[in-house]
Chain A
Amino acid sequence: MKWKIDDGGWSPYLAGALVGVLAIVSVVATTQLMGKSSYLGASTTFVRAAGLLQQTIAGDNALINEYYTKTKIRIDWQFMLVIGIALGAFLSSTMDRSFRLESVPPIWKERFGSSWGKRAVWAFVGGIVAMIGARMASGCPSGHGLSGMMQLSVSSFVALSMFFGVGVWVAHIVYKRRKS
């Protein structure tokens, strides 16, 4: 087993194990410093971002919505964690020179051509559908996939199976070239 992969990245087993350690330390740190055990997650932050955006446009009345009241619209620990992910990825990719400006990913280009507009529209549509699903299921591959599985939550086993099962099915329909 190689610890380094060809382009200067790390073995996913090694980086994954380190994220496991980070997850443990993070739960202990949030329990100690914030008085409540918090687990790695990302999708709730999108609700908070939507709420804050609506509040900026339409004022405080936008937050009367039941789901926003329940979620508590504020910039919290997880919100900063999600911003931190972007910073961490920027740091890492500039350090090992894997930072690339990319408008259309290769698999997409091969199947649908190099139009970035087309990619943008579908990324947007996919984002809407995925986030409705993630909020309905109360989690994404971070919240359910990592944190829920670590705790042996029943819902996370079911959610991750659905995420991946349907993902495999849809990906095969969308990206596989039909043989003519």
Chain B
Amino acid sequence: MNTGQWLGLFTGVLFGFLMQKARVLRFEKQVGAMLLKDMTIFKFMLSAILVGMVGILLLSNLEMITLSHKSMNVGAVVVGGALFGAGWAIMGFCPGTSLGALGEGRWHAVFAIAGMVVGAAFYAELYPVFKTTVLAWKDFGKIGLPETLGVSQWVIVPIFWAGVIALFFWFEKKKI
């Protein structure tokens, strides 16, 4: 294995370990969030975003890393996002957590994983069709919120933090 593969494996083990400890891998937690009864996955994801955001934006300012936005292609993100949401609700896993769920013994995740591999093959097969239809509607390119709104990221970050912390207090108050 090369350096990149070892690094990926090591990072993945830590990522999987932390997701398992937070209990976010389970079907119950994923569907529980979608039924608005258990916000564990949001507490977890938003905490990661709050911390990660500060470091990543700072390091990118210092030019130690480069940002890598995904394209704001309207059809792709809206239609693709909707399809993902529907499949996620039925499957009860997302691509990353499916492997983790398998790791903690929830073996029905193998069917979800198999379905996702088949889905990826379907997408590759259908890609030429999507490219001239859904993907061709309107593409705003790889854009970030600061330049889109015309404000500094250091204005957005504190507002985002405040909003998320308020949400956390609300989750705890509602006991969800």
Contacts and interface: CB of A to CB of B under 8 A. Distances in A.
B111 A85 contact: no
Contact of B57 (A141, A152, A157): A152
Given A123-B109, A131-B116, A151-B144, A51 B124 contact: yes
Chain B, interface residues (CB within 8 Å), range: 35 or more
Contacts of B88: 126, 130, 141, 163, 167
Nearest to A141: B94
Given A88-B14, A123-B91, A133 B35 contact: no
A124 B17 CA distance: 25
B22 A129 contact: no
A83 to B, nearest CB: 6
Contacts of B56: 23-24, 27, 150-151
A16 B18 CA distance: 8
B83 A133 contact: yes
What DSSP secondary structure best describes chain A's contact surface? helix
Interface in B137-171: 140, 142-146, 148, 153, 156, 168
Given A131-B123, A146-B49, A159 B94 contact: no
A157 B45 CA distance: 13
Interface string A114-127: 00100111111111
B93 to A, nearest CB: 8
B163 to A, nearest CB: 12
Contacts of B83: 129-130, 132-133, 136
B30 to A, nearest CB: 9
B150 to A, nearest CB: 13
Interface string A142-156: 111111111111111
A100 B102 CA distance: 10
Interface of B: 1, 3-28, 31-36, 40-41, 43-53, 55-57, 59-60, 64-73, 76-109, 111-128, 130, 134-135, 140, 142-146, 148, 153, 156, 168, 172
11 contacts: A46-B120, A50-B118, A88-B12, A126-B89, A134-B95, A136-B123, A138-B77, A151-B60, A155-B77, A166-B86, A175-B31
